Structure 1
């Protein structure tokens, strides 16, 4: 098992809700950068953002990731996830190359075919309409193939000999070595987990699985992870992939915490109907830090994954979320096998 990492995942909400620290888009964007800086100082391994379109949430990740990169030096910077239905894969490859170069090779980009959204055929409004016989999901996977080839240095367009003097295939620029092994696909089922492994991608699994077998969420997700790892081995890839899971973890140590999240204590999985089928939603972990440590240590999927992404209430502001992350880092994460980066570095000497 590789090193256990923890990170935060921000959905980047903004709006004039009572008590919100992010009434505007500018507030959310600038505070996301500041939280990445604070998280790095605490010792958190990863700062990731969710991507939504046509909603008051974070939408265009690469300018934000580049800004986060310019203000930090160690922490991984990621997405969970970019909806490929909306992307021009070659322009995305250029943006990813730029942001990864600025970060010094710290991007960990999660992508997928997207999730249910408020827009009706939103990607079509961006000009991306699947050709006849192809679904939106099919087009997203095709774009992934083009994107992966582009960041791996493939020639994607013929040169103009009048400009170059020779006829050759040109790759997008800039290239960023190693980025192709830092791409993740957001998987919601065991069947998709097999496909992700076959593509040679890392896997992200969130607090939602778009299938249900009646077993607890963490056990179903752990089964998904095992399916992925078995398929990876069968595919014969020559490198070790990573797997992340997301959890809502809310330590309660103050009256303010209790006011916001006390009602989540003792919550359980939920099963609902989503996108034409049953789905299982993972519970929120809320309570005293020592109890959360015990519960997460028994979470089968958290134990099976190498990275735990903590969904945060970004509208409560940088100070609140930095304190939340510091509490988890000190009192909860060690129970799942996490070791602060500074201690890892000393152990490696």
Structure 2
């Protein structure tokens, strides 16, 4: 099917010794995305690294520099978050953006939990199951939290405030397994599937991703699905940029040949080359024809001018080749 919603995803790298320019670059890239007609811009979430650690704050700033483009998180790992506080922040930014927030979340223990627990949860044992997502959904959707009522001059709400009525329908789950795809569908979420999946059924990435999409849709036929592969069009790239991009892909390709680690995570191969070639590769991908929304991932370690070139080629050449029309 043709792509009717085209987005991109960035990690928002910055220099630890001077972090502001990297954050400004991310905001400028989001502004450029709106100017180019993209439907959505998504930011990754990185803790204790040199990438965006507070995507909701960054998207609050982006909401004031843009007027149309939707703003997403792909994804916020809820193991690091208090669902009640996060629900307040999400609703606030959604209202500030005029209803453009697309929050994507995932669940599970924080990365390197044994090392970060003393700083993150020194006095408590936390539940990192799907119930943590369910709590967030209840709060975002306006279900009752307390019955505090009125106390003297103070008036309390029984739900999270502010409440943003449409936000509950724009919640996404970032899943890499059949179980996650099914759970997201059964709980009325949308489904983000990216360039990594669990090799549960086979070692064919596209076929695994296809099974996740169909499992989600069986549970939630009206839910939205977005696919996020790494694509690097080179139509307007300089010779130096093309060499840089090809070296990047070559270095990452070995991890795509077999499942990685105890969890058997399988990575998709990055797609680099002219837009016409990438469009042909996507058309031959078993899962890609099943979606009408994409959020193509920008490579982690490139420079600002590289992202400008890549986004310009995606919007101007690759997107239209996939049936997309700029907004």
Q: TM-score, normalised by structure 1?
A: 0.84
Match of 2:8 in 1: 8
Cα RMSD after superposing both structures: 2.6
Q: Please list the CA deviations of residues 5-42 of structure 1 after superposition, one character each: whole Å capped at 9, or x if unmatched.
A: 121111122348xxxxxx73212211111111001000
User: 1:150 is matched with which residue: 124, 135, 139?
Assistant: 139
User: 1:322 is matched with which residue: 281, 302, 308?
Assistant: 308
Match of 1:58 in 2: 52
Match of 1:346 in 2: none
Secondary structure of the equivalent of 1:63?
Answer: helix
- 1:89 CA displacement: 1.1
Question: Matches of 1:194 and 1:128 in 2, distance apart?
Answer: 33
Secondary structure of the equivalent of 1:308?
Answer: strand
Q: Please list the CA deviations of residues 223-248 of structure 1 after superposition, one character each: whole Å capped at 9, or x if unmatched.
A: 21011111224xxxxxx211111111
Question: Matches of 2:123 and 2:174 in 1, distance apart?
Answer: 22
Match of 2:36 in 1: 42
Q: Does 1:224 align with 2:212?
A: yes
Secondary structure of the equivalent of 1:68?
Answer: helix
Match of 1:113 in 2: 107
Secondary structure of the equivalent of 1:313?
Answer: coil
Question: Matches of 1:192 and 1:151 in 2, distance apart?
Answer: 20
- Asked whether the equivalents of residues 212 and 279 of structure 1 are also in contact (C-alpha less than 8 Å), the reply is no
- 1:155 CA displacement: 2.2
- 1:63 CA displacement: 1.2
User: 1:79 is matched with which residue: 73, 80, 88?
Assistant: 73
Question: Matches of 2:131 and 2:2 in 1, distance apart?
Answer: 31
Q: Please list the CA deviations of residues 122-163 of structure 1 after superposition, one character each: whole Å capped at 9, or x if unmatched.
A: 3563228774xx7x531xx22222221112112212215433
Secondary structure of the equivalent of 2:260?
Answer: strand
Aligned length: 322
Q: How does 1:201-240 map to 2 (within 5 A)?
A: 201-233=189-221, 240=222
- 1:280 CA displacement: 1.1
- Asked whether the equivalents of residues 251 and 257 of structure 1 are also in contact (C-alpha less than 8 Å), the reply is no
Q: TM-score, normalised by structure 2?
A: 0.89
Question: Matches of 1:244 and 1:288 in 2, distance apart?
Answer: 23
CA spacing shift, 1:290–1:90, aligned 2, 3 Å: same
Q: Please list the CA deviations of residues 61-113 of structure 1 after superposition, one character each: whole Å capped at 9, or x if unmatched.
A: 11111100000011010000001111111111111111001110000010001
Q: How does 1:167-178 map to 2 (within 5 A)?
A: 170-178=158-166
CA spacing shift, 1:273–1:320, aligned 2, 3 Å: closer
Question: Matches of 2:273 and 2:3 in 1, distance apart?
Answer: 26
- Asked whether the equivalents of residues 80 and 110 of structure 2 are also in contact (C-alpha less than 8 Å), the reply is no
Q: Does 1:137 align with 2:128?
A: yes
Question: Matches of 2:112 and 2:79 in 1, distance apart?
Answer: 15
Secondary structure of the equivalent of 1:48?
Answer: strand
